[in-house]
Amino acid sequence: MKFLLFCIGILAAFTQDALPPKIMSVENVNQLSEIRSKAYENAIIDDLTFQPNSNQLVVIKQEQGQTLNGNVVFLHTNTLEQLKFSNEIVPATALTFSIDGSVFATGDDQGNITGYSTDSFEQIWAFQANSDVVNDLAISPSKSYLGITYGISEIVREGKVAFQMLQLPTGKEVIPFPLDTDVYGGGVTFDKNNETVFFSTVNMADSTIIIHAWDITANRELNQYVAYGTTGHDLLFDPANTTLFNIASQGVQAKQFDSGQVIKDRILSTIQKDEFITRIAIHPTEPILAVGFFEKNPRPDGGPSNTSAGIIRLYNTETGDELLSLDVPEGAIMSLAFSPDGTLLASGGTDGTVRLWGVAG
């Protein structure tokens, strides 16, 4: 009898582990926990994203102390094992997918832009339109355009532009936005109607972030929105395409649009002492915003330098309420992404670990 109960217990545990995680919601996200992880020695997980319509997670794994480029690695979300075709070395500082997941693009520290078909992993286009570090990339919903921001706060080379929009697949320049002293490109995103591209520029001299709204058809700037801070990397729309989120010195700003005009501007996530927001991610269907932090902590031995820890906080985008806070004491959060089906949150950081978070099924 004891043996039978033991077997039933093992079977129940196995079944529970085998169940897929639930879709996250405002009601159950407080049950979020780490369900899987993969650690790389002497590495930083500089960026990551899920491939739409697949079970693959793509990361940029940067070797500590090496060049700004990392190596692009494809992982299976069920196991976090590396997929065979990702053994090819693809250097990158930024990556993105088209909305349908059929095209994958990377940019590197020399301004090289490369596009691949995800069906065959074959190169379909390649450009070098600028010589600066690629900071962020976005493919328009129609796959007709590619938005690129250049330069990072630590290194700005002799490039000519902070932002470019190129026509695909030819690489013809449609929009150039010039680089200026102390100014570099931040984040970039398209609205779902393929009518407007939004990109940010960051002025390190006065800590000003300007978000530019550019009409693609008319090829003219529609508006500018000013924020303050030195981290302008992420620009994200909510699933309804009505609210734009960006990182600022006060926290995460949320700009709600109606007919092209900002009707509401608020701060969702605030910053505590010795905290810095590094990345944000928006859930694909639920009003949930994930915010990644770098936290400075005094050394346990009282040494002169600080240690870094990570925090992930989740917020209700409709009410602004904090839903959950997750501590990652091993390293600062450098990358965040929700899976397209809304069941997983992936994080990566300075400890070289990819973590998958979910609500147990």
Is pLDDT above 50 for 2? no
Is pLDDT above 90 for 160? no
* Stated pTM of the model: 0.89
Distances 17 to 22, 54, 293 between C-alpha atoms, Å: 12, 21, 29
Strand order in the sheet with 56-63: 43-50, 56-63, 70-76, 91-92
- 83 vs 352: which has the higher pLDDT: 352
pLDDT tens digits for range 249-270: 889 999 998 877 888 999 988 7
According to DSSP, the β-strands at 220-228 and 183-190 are unpaired
Residue 289 and residue 266 in contact, taking contact as beta carbons nearer than 8 Å: no
The span from the CA of 123 to the CA of 276, in Å, is: 37
Supply the mean pLDDT for the chain.
86
Distances 190 to 62, 125, 148, 213, 284 between C-alpha atoms, Å: 27, 20, 11, 10, 15
The span from the CA of 109 to the CA of 66, in Å, is: 12
Q: Which of 38-52, 146-160, 285-299 comes out lowest in average pLDDT?
A: 146-160
pLDDT of residue 15: 38
pLDDT of residue 48: 95
For residue 4, the surrounding DSSP H or E stretch is: helix 2-18
pLDDT tens digits for range 184-229: 899 999 998 888 999 999 888 888 999 999 999 999 999 999 888 8
User: 222-245 b/e with 16+ CB inside 10 Å = b?
Assistant: eeebebebbbbbbbbbbeeeebbb
Listing DSSP states for 7-49 in one string gives: HHHHHHHHHHHHSPPBPP-TTTGGG-EEEEEEE-TTEEEEEEE
Question: Which CATH class, in words, describes the domain spanning 34-352?
Answer: mainly beta
Is pLDDT above 60 for 90? yes
pLDDT band at 325, cuts 50/70/90? very high
Task: Locate 75 and state its tokens.
Answer: 């992982």
Residue partners of 31: CB distance under 8 A and separation at least 6:
359, 360
pLDDT tens digits for range 172-186: 999 999 877 778 899
Is pLDDT above 80 for 346? yes
According to DSSP, the β-strands at 251-258 and 261-270 are antiparallel
Is pLDDT above 90 for 6? no
Task: Locate 211 and state its tokens.
Answer: 């978000």
Residue 125 and residue 131 in contact, taking contact as beta carbons nearer than 8 Å: no
3-state secondary structure of 169: coil
pLDDT tens digits for range 22-81: 999 999 999 999 999 999 999 999 999 999 988 899 999 999 877 789 999 999 999 999
